[in-house]
């Protein structure tokens, strides 16, 4: 009897595993789905906005067509493109456009194809557009939530912008504390949000059950091709329903594909669809409801609490995209597209929780500027749509290319993807291009600016590296020359940071030439950023004695992933003592850095304006000692000039 009871009961390990999986799904609900989960607040309202330069008239056919178009757009772009297809392509578990870029760069290194280089550059532009998304999302999301005040009490409309500004300032001020403390509350709040949104949608549907017919694709196709002159322009607002799709992919490394897929299919997608259906039914019941269909779905007694809940949800959505901007900037810096930025880790247990001060303050100023310049969520909608469609189109293009050349997907499958998936994306992109004069120019300007900065930095960095290599000379030759000189060897360990093993560190060369001394233990460290998120500890360091076993000079290559912050002392602690004739005294070691001062030279390496931009961008470079985890009190900095 006892035996049967034990065999029939679930094991503790199984229950624990289920609890962990549930916790991951809840965590994903709180971080990943904030942006796309708050889209119902403003999407349908924007489609039927009478102030739109290309307004969609309110009629039975148009309402059915718009709701059906929203449903199938979300189904194709989010469910099929991202959840069911793109999320199978990852870079050691990491997703997002930066992961696709690293896959392309790795393939390019092996194949040497120009197509990969071109698509990688396109991917960088997509990442640049994401910075525009990071600026627009907090502005439009919080504005749309606070605009619920106008539905509750029209006279409160004049307080929408000031309240939004206060919330946004507070949001950015708390970023330095990290999202770990409040993060545990994000999941439950968003579960409550999706529950309320779904229930409110059901209430609207109950008053007009015919709206369920909009689930049929015939209404979307009929609206698109039967009323193309109206439907085409409506796409510029319909695309707002898929904002945040890139976040599902980009945050895959933190939560995993299964948790994100379950959260989307089980809760988020149904709740959003019910809300869109309910809003459509409400407008069919009374066309005047287009002024605020999302909040009007809620009974009058519940609208104040709904405004508060919507504000909390949009703050969470903003938090997710701000964190995403930190992550993209950090990865771009590690891959050589941005200068070294100061990064603070805000959690000891979660590596992805970082804070980048420079990015934070740029975003704050940008978001506030957008709020005061555009005043309403409707005015920002077309700018938002352009950023979203641009990023999604580029992601789909990169995915299809990688699926074909790396994973050998059948040609017919890739061709079908180009026709259906990329075709839908390009249709959205074309519709948003018609709104260039009405705000769509903004994300393109932001993206072009960020793209120019990143590609200029990449080009300038290559020029400086070449000039520096010539100034440093061969490391092997330099070490051989040291053996022919009678240098005084002082006690202790000196660590020189260098870009590689081929050249001698400028600081080491200057120390020998000017001070005529050399430490008993000399460690030349080069940092190598691999195209993977994280490097295993057993692969962290590689030691080379440079051909001499007894001179106390070694080279250490320290490898880090593009999502890791290099920690040189921690890496050196992994060096086998047997490789250093007794080990390294890291407690007393001195660290030497070669600081380069850039100047605009006369050589035609870049256009003059790009040289000025490159030098100006170099000023935001983070302190090297802090970035590499060096003890400041034992760090010596030696400078040199290089002309660009």
CATH code at position 314: 1.20.1740.10
> What is d(CA 230, CA 222) in angstroms, rounded to the nearest whole number?
12
Residue 65 C-beta-side C-alpha neighbours within 13 Å: 22
21 is a domain residue: yes
Shared domain for 432 and 474, answered yes or no, is no
Contacts of 20 (CB under 8 A, 6+ apart): none
- Give residue 582's pLDDT: 62
pLDDT in tens, 387-421: 889 889 999 998 898 888 878 888 898 899 899 99
H or E stretch covering 492: strand 488-498
Q: Which of 397, 420, 439 is the last residue of a domain?
A: 439
pLDDT of 26 > 80? The answer is no
Shared domain for 514 and 594, answered yes or no, is yes
415 is a domain residue: yes
- Give residue 19's pLDDT: 46
Shared domain for 163 and 83, answered yes or no, is yes
For residue 279, with 0-12 CB atoms within 10 Å meaning exposed, 13-18 middle and 19 or more buried, which class applies?
A: buried
448 is a domain residue: no
% of residues, the chain, pLDDT over 90 = 25
Q: What residues make up the domain containing 540?
A: 468-643
pLDDT of 636 > 90? The answer is no
255 or 519, greater pLDDT: 519
How far from 449 is each of 130, 170, 334, CA to CA, in Å?
Answer: 12, 27, 20
pLDDT of 642 > 80? The answer is no
- Give residue 548's pLDDT: 61
- Least trusted range by pLDDT, from 59-63, 200-204, 247-251: 247-251
Question: Could you give the 3-state DSSP secondary structure of residue 61?
Answer: helix
pLDDT of 519 > 80? The answer is yes
Shared domain for 384 and 504, answered yes or no, is no
pLDDT in tens, 562-578: 767 788 898 888 887 77
pLDDT of 76 > 50? The answer is yes
Question: Could you give the 3-state DSSP secondary structure of residue 99?
Answer: helix
What would the two tokens of residue 109 be? Answer: 């290194």
597 is a domain residue: yes
Question: Could you give the 3-state DSSP secondary structure of residue 517?
Answer: strand
111 or 65, greater pLDDT: 65
Shared domain for 129 and 214, answered yes or no, is yes
Shared domain for 108 and 194, answered yes or no, is yes
Return mean pLDDT, the chain: 83
Strands 344-345 and 354-355: antiparallel
Per-residue pLDDT, averaged over 306-330, amounts to 84
Shared domain for 360 and 483, answered yes or no, is no
6 is a domain residue: no
- Give residue 561's pLDDT: 82
Per-residue pLDDT, averaged over 364-378, amounts to 91
455 is a domain residue: no
Shared domain for 478 and 434, answered yes or no, is no
Angle ∠(210,216,221) on CA atoms, nearest 5? 115
Sequential DSSP letters for 148-203? HHHHH-GGGGGGHHHHHHHHHHHHHHTGGG-SHHHHHHHHHHHHHHHHHHHHHHHH
Task: Residue 201: name the closest of 90, 296, 127 by CA.
Answer: 296
- Give residue 112's pLDDT: 55
Shared domain for 315 and 234, answered yes or no, is yes
pLDDT in tens, 552-565: 788 889 998 876 77
444 is a domain residue: no
Could you tell me the pTM of the whole model? Answer: 0.78
- Give residue 3's pLDDT: 39
Shared domain for 490 and 610, answered yes or no, is yes
- Give residue 306's pLDDT: 92
Q: How confident is the model at residue 78 (pLDDT cuts 50, 70, 90)?
A: very high
17 or 546, greater pLDDT: 546
> What is d(CA 28, CA 500) in angstroms, rounded to the nearest whole number?
40
> What is d(CA 435, CA 478) in angstroms, rounded to the nearest whole number?
61
Shared domain for 408 and 525, answered yes or no, is no
Per-residue pLDDT, averaged over 479-507, amounts to 81
> What is d(CA 67, CA 62) in angstroms, rounded to the nearest whole number?
8
> What is d(CA 492, CA 520) in angstroms, rounded to the nearest whole number?
6
- The number of domains in the chain is 2
pLDDT in tens, 585-598: 788 888 988 777 77
pLDDT of 12 > 70? The answer is no
- Give residue 54's pLDDT: 78
Shared domain for 109 and 229, answered yes or no, is yes
What would the two tokens of residue 398 be? Answer: 């990169």
- Give residue 13's pLDDT: 40
pLDDT in tens, 124-183: 888 888 888 888 889 988 998 898 888 888 888 889 999 999 999 988 888 777 655 555
- Give residue 6's pLDDT: 35
112 or 215, greater pLDDT: 215
Q: How confident is the model at residue 529 (pLDDT cuts 50, 70, 90)?
A: confident
% of residues, the chain, pLDDT over 70 = 89
- Give residue 16's pLDDT: 39
Strands 541-544 and 553-561: antiparallel
DSSP helix, strand, coil percent of the chain (3-state; round to 5)? 70, 10, 20
pLDDT of 549 > 50? The answer is yes
Q: How confident is the model at residue 1 (pLDDT cuts 50, 70, 90)?
A: very low
4 is a domain residue: no
- Least trusted range by pLDDT, from 168-182, 433-447, 489-503: 168-182
> What is d(CA 542, CA 117) in angstroms, rounded to the nearest whole number?
30
């Amino acid at each position: 009897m006892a035996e049967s009871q034990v065999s029939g009961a679930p094991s503790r390990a199984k229950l624990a595993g289920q609890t962990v999986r549930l916790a991951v799904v809840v965590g994903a609900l709180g971080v990943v789905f904030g942006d796309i989960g708050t889209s119902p607040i403003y999407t349908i309202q924007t489609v039927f906005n009478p102030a739109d330069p290309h307004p969609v008239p309110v009629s039975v056919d148009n309402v059915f067509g718009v709701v059906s178009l929203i449903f199938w757009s979300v189904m194709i772009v989010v469910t099929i493109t991202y959840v069911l297809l793109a999320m199978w392509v990852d870079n050691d578990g990491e997703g997002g456009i930066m992961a696709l870029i690293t896959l392309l760069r790795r393939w390019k290194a092996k194949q040497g194809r120009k197509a990969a280089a071109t698509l990688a550059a396109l991917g960088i532009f997509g990442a640049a557009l994401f910075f525009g998304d990071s600026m627009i999302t907090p502005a439009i999301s919080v504005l749309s939530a606070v605009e619920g005040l106008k539905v509750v009490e029209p006279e409160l409309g004049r307080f929408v912008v000031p309240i939004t500004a206060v919330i946004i300032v507070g949001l950015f001020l708390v970023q330095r504390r990290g999202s770990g403390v409040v993060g545990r509350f994000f999941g439950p709040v968003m579960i409550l949000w999706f529950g309320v949104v779904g229930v409110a949608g059901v209430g609207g549907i109950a008053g007009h059950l015919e709206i369920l017919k909009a689930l049929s694709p015939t209404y979307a196709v009929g609206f698109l091709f039967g009323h193309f002159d109206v439907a085409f322009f409506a796409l510029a607002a319909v695309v707002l329903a898929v904002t945040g799709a890139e976040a599902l992919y980009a945050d895959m490394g933190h939560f995993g594909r299964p948790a994100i897929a379950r959260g989307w299919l089980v809760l988020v997608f149904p709740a959003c669809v019910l809300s869109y259906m309910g809003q459509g039914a409400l407008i069919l019941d009374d066309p005047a409801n287009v002024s605020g269909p999302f909040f009007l779905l809620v009974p009058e007694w519940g609208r104040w609490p709904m405004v508060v809940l919507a504000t909390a949800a949009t703050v969470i959505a903003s938090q997710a995209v701000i964190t995403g901007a930190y992550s993209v900037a950090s990865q771009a810096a590690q891959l050589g597209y941005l200068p070294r930025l100061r990064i603070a880790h805000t959690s000891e247990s979660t590596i992805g929780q970082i804070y980048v001060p420079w990015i934070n303050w740029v975003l704050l100023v940008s978001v506030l500027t957008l709020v005061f310049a555009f005043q309403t969520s409707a005015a920002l909608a077309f700018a938002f749509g352009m950023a979203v469609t641009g990023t999604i189109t580029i992601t789909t293009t990169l995915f299809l290319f990688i699926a074909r050349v790396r994973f050998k997907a059948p040609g017919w499958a890739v061709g079908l993807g180009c026709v259906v998936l990329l075709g839908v994306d390009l249709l959205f992109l074309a519709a948003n291009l018609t709104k260039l004069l009405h705000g769509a120019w903004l994300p393109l300007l932001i993206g072009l600016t960020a793209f120019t900065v990143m590609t200029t930095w990449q080009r300038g960095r290559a020029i400086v590296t070449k000039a520096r290599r010539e100034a440093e000379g061969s490391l092997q030759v330099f070490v051989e020359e040291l053996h022919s000189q009678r240098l005084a060897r002082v006690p202790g360990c000196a660590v020189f940071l260098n870009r590689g093993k081929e050249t001698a560190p400028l600081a080491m060369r200057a120390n020998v030439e000017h001070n005529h001394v050399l430490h008993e233990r000399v460690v030349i460290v080069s940092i190598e950023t691999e195209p993977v998120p994280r490097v295993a500890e057993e692969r962290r360091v590689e030691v080379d004695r440079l051909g001499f076993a007894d001179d106390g000079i070694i080279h250490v290559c320290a490898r880090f992933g593009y999502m890791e912050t290099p920690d040189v002392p921690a890496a050196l602690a992994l060096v086998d003592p047997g490789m250093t004739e007794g080990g390294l005294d890291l407690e007393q070691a001195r660290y030497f850095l070669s600081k380069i001062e850039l100047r605009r030279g006369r050589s035609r390496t870049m256009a003059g304006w790009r040289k000025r931009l490159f030098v100006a961008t170099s000023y935001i470079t983070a302190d090297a000692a802090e970035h590499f985890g060096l003890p400041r009190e034992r760090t010596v900095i030696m400078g040199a000039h290089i002309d660009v």
